[in-house]
Amino acid sequence: MQQKSFLKRVLTPTGHVPAFSIWSRGKQSNTKAFAGGWFCAFIGWRGSISLQQMEKGMHNDFVEVLLAKERAASIPEEDDWYGGLIGEWDFEWVDHEGGPEERHVKGEWLFARALEGRAIVDLFICPSRKERQLSASSEGEYGLSIRTYSPQTHSWHVCHASSGTPEQLVAIRESSGDIVQTSSADKGYVAVWRFSKRTADSFYWTNRISEDGGKTWELVGEVFARRRS
């Protein structure tokens, strides 16, 4: 089932979300944090759940309460921008393209509806779990986002937590259909995460930053995603 599959990626066998070094603006940072703790605090939940406990039925309610099968009625179909992303995706991450440090990494991205269908949560795992089994390196990203809809502005608010400082972004949809998510400038730079070239089975995502108020932009990374069959 999709709900159980999603939670298995959030929780490890020992009962906690692992910490990984974040790819901060294309460079490795040694800052570590627990994404799961931030996410649970965000939705007002406290405590720790292990997979063993969940398998025994001790916390089955958590899965049912968190995830949802359908979009909430408060979200118009035309504003359900992320609905087409629900499911599991494999992707190739590319950064420093064309330079001596060019890097290609296999990852996975999982999306699900949550909070009675009023939100969408996703897990960004790069390298993928399979690649992590092949390499002992802790380099990479294990990030969790929650996307909530604002009926007043017909936009989405995004909170992303990983092994670094959480990001808060506001999303709009351009006339081209691209979803553009922009952060505040309170960290000394502005980040723009863009979903584009979306089809039923693929999408393209980019992360760009500007440290001069939008005069110039640096491409931090690209994602080329294909829906998992």
Selected residue with higher pLDDT from 166 and 201: 201
Instruction: Evaluate if pTM is beyond 0.85.
Output: no
Q: What is the mean pLDDT of residues 133-148?
A: 85
Residue 156 reports pLDDT greater than 70:
yes
Selected residue with higher pLDDT from 1 and 79: 79
Selected residue with higher pLDDT from 185 and 209: 209
What is the amino acid identity at position 24? Answer: S
Q: Which residues contact 188 (CB under 8 A, 6 or more apart)?
A: 211
> What pLDDT, on the 0 to 100 scale, is given for residue 216?
97
Whether 183 and 169 have beta carbons less than 8 Å apart is answered as yes
Where does residue 37 rank: exposed (0-12), middle (13-18), buried (19+ CB within 10 A)? Answer: middle
> What pLDDT, on the 0 to 100 scale, is given for residue 99?
85
Q: What is the mean pLDDT of residues 42-52?
A: 46
pLDDT in tens, 2-33: 555 555 555 444 443 333 333 444 433 333 33
- Alpha helix (H) ranges present in 68-217? 129-134
pLDDT in tens, 164-184: 678 899 999 999 999 999 998
Residue 116 reports pLDDT greater than 50:
yes
Q: What residue spans define the domains of the chain?
A: 2-227
Q: Hey, what CATH topology would domain 2-227 get?
A: Lipocalin (2.40.128)
Strands 27-28 and 167-173 turn out to be: unpaired
Whether 159 and 42 have beta carbons less than 8 Å apart is answered as yes
In the Cβ-directed half-sphere of 141, how many Cα atoms lie within 13 Å?
Answer: 27
> What pLDDT, on the 0 to 100 scale, is given for residue 149?
94
> What pLDDT, on the 0 to 100 scale, is given for residue 100?
87
What the block records as the tokens of 209 is 């930053």
**Lowest-confidence range among 9-13, 102-106, 155-159, 219-223?**
9-13
